[in-house]
């Protein structure tokens, strides 16, 4: 295949990932906006509604592992196709809920399966096509779908809520995610080897030096190394803090800072606006760091220390919003910088340690662990601490502590993980 055609295929992979990320983070962005109206309409507490989101993330985690196995074998098309149906049903069926269980079960099940098919699929597919000094830049472009969702869908839902209720908003969202994910499934491609091309950014072997075949790690071998467990702990603690902030921050601004829902939503959208800039910018910065240190795992590690440190400072600025709205804007920009680095950065670190061949199943299992614990605990703790104390201050302090742990663990991540010396196997489970 000629280089131009190969580049077009790579762009399609990035575009499909953009659409998948748009839908995935659309769920997160709109939940924070819908939380208040749903609570007021149905008489459910923040803890009750957040439990639905927490259970959804648990189903998401299990599905993410299965999607990783799918990607290694068949690429991302089937994952996006399944996601299109289930993600749409998650919004549509929930919009007809009349009792708490009618909200809890379908939202957790359908939304969990639908979104669970998107994260590992999008990150791993980009990593399989772009490696080395190209990965973070291209992932930054794909990850722009997240802040665009934050802006477009948050503002769209807010506009709907001015004249209609949360049910109509969810039904409109069902249509949006279905169309976007069907398009993603059409654009998605298999692994580059299936088209007879190499991934972009691959370091060529020196002249007269045979290229070393990539080792196919089994899950047992991969998870016997601290590299993946360190990455999991660093990612888990950051996700705990991130999901706590994302799902509760609008309520913090309306309840503690006394902003109107419209003003709080506009401020929340600032994260998305800033993210549209920080996603590609931080991607290029991460690749520059990799180029400077000339060792990809080291460059990814540096960025994984920087990201939660930025999140910690953002929590401090968030607490100062009571004294001035300017601090709220600063917090949003800092969260956007953190957001642009951490999720894709951890996948990049894992890929630089374990390679591309078996990354789907490795990152799928890692995502199962992280997303099965971190977001669920973060969302619930944010609401629980608020219900316990009547303020979101303790929730934000809890998130700040989680960011500290993430940075400390990232600082001790290893720069390599040696596979067993004796094995030549090509297929592992």
pLDDT digits (tens, 9 = 90+) for 308-320: 999 999 999 999 9
Q: Distance (Å, rounded) from C-alpha 428 to C-alpha 55? A: 31
CATH, residue 357? 1.20.1250.20
Domain count, the chain: 1
Inform me whether the pLDDT recorded for 205 exceeds 60. Answer: no
Please check the confidence at residue 269 and state whether its pLDDT lies above 60: yes
Summarised one tens digit per residue, pLDDT across range 350-373 is 999 998 878 888 988 998 898 778
Do residues 303 and 341 touch, judged by C-beta distance below 8 A? yes
> Does the pLDDT of residue 161 top 90, yes or no?
no
Give the DSSP per-residue string, 286-335.
HHHHHHHHS-HHHHHHHHHHHHHHHHHHHHHHHHGGGT-HHHHHHHHHHH
Q: How far apart are the first and last CA of the chain?
A: 31
Looking at the domain assignment, is residue 57 inside a domain? yes
Position 426 in a domain: no
Domain range for residue 384?
3-191+216-411
The one-character DSSP state at 96 is T
Q: How far is CA 356 from CA 72, 270, 405, in A?
A: 9, 35, 28
Is residue 360 helix, strand or coil?
A: helix
Q: How many helices (H) and strands (E) does the chain have?
A: 16, 0
Give tens-digit pLDDT for 369-391: 987 788 778 878 888 888 888 88
Q: Which residues pair with 200 in a beta bridge?
A: 130
384 vs 50 pLDDT, higher one = 384
Q: Does residue 416 fall inside a structural domain? A: no
pLDDT digits (tens, 9 = 90+) for 2-17: 778 888 999 999 999 9
Per-residue burial over 155-193, b if 16 or more Cβ lie within 10 Å, else e, is bbbbebbeeeebbebbbbbbebbbebbbebbebbbbbbe
pLDDT category of residue 203 using cuts at 50, 70 and 90: low
Query: Does residue 209 have a pLDDT over 60?
Result: no
Q: Which residue has the tokens 């779908």?
A: 145
**Cα-based angle 156, 160, 166 (whole degrees, multiple of 5):** 110
Q: How far is CA 95 from CA 92, 228, 289, in A?
A: 5, 39, 46
Is 196 part of a structural domain of the chain?
Answer: no
Is residue 49 a contact partner of residue 37, using CB atoms and an 8 Å limit?
no
Q: Is the pTM of this model over 0.95?
A: no
């Amino acid at each position: 295949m000629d280089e131009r055609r190969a580049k077009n295929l790579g762009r399609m992979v990035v575009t499909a990932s953009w659409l998948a990320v748009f839908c995935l983070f659309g769920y997160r962005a709109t939940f924070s906006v819908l939380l208040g109206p749903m609570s007021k309409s149905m008489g459910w507490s923040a803890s009750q509604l957040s439990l639905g989101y927490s259970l959804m993330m648990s189903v998401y985690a299990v599905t993410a592992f299965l999607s990783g196995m799918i990607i290694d074998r068949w690429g991302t098309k089937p994952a996006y196709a399944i996601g299109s149906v289930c993600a749409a049903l998650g919004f549509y069926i929930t919009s007809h809920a009349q009792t708490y269980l009618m909200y809890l079960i379908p939202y957790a099940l359908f939304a969990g399966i639908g979104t669970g098919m998107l994260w590992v699929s999008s990150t791993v597919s980009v990593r399989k096509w772009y490696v080395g000094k190209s990965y973070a830049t291209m992932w930054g472009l794909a990850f722009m779908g997240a802040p665009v969702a934050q802006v477009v869908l948050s503002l769209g839902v807010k506009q709907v809520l001015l004249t209609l209720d949360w049910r109509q908003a969810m039904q409109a969202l069902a249509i949006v995610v279905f169309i976007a994910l069907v398009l993603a499934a059409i654009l998605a491609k298999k692994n580059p080897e299936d088209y007879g091309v190499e991934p972009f950014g691959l370091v060529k072997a020196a002249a007269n030096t045979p290229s070393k075949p990539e080792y196919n790690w089994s899950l047992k071998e991969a998870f016997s190394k601290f590299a993946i467990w360190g990455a999991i702990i660093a990612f888990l603690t950051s996700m705990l803090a991130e999901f706590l902030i994302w799902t509760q921050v609008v309520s913090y601004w309306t309840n503690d800072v006394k902003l109107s829902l419209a003003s709080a939503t506009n401020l929340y959208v600032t994260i998305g606006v800033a993210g549209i800039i920080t996603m590609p910018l931080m991607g290029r910065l991460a690749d520059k760091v990799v180029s400077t240190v000339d060792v990809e795992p080291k460059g990814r590690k540096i960025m994984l220390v920087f990201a939660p440190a930025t999140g910690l400072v953002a929590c401090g600025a968030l607490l100062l919003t009571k004294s001035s709205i300017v601090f709220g804007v600063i917090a949003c920009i800092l969260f956007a910088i953190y957001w642009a680095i951490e999720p894709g950065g951890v996948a990049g670190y894992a890929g630089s340690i374990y390679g591309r061949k078996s990354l789907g199943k490795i990152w799928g299992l890692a995502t199962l662990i992280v997303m099965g614990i971190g977001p669920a605990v973060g969302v619930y703790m944010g609401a629980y601490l608020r219900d316990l104390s009547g303020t979101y201050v303790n929730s934000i302090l809890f998130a700040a502590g989680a960011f500290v742990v993430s940075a400390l663990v990232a600082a001790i991540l290893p720069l390599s993980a040696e596979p067993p010396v004796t094995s030549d196997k090509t297929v592992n489970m």
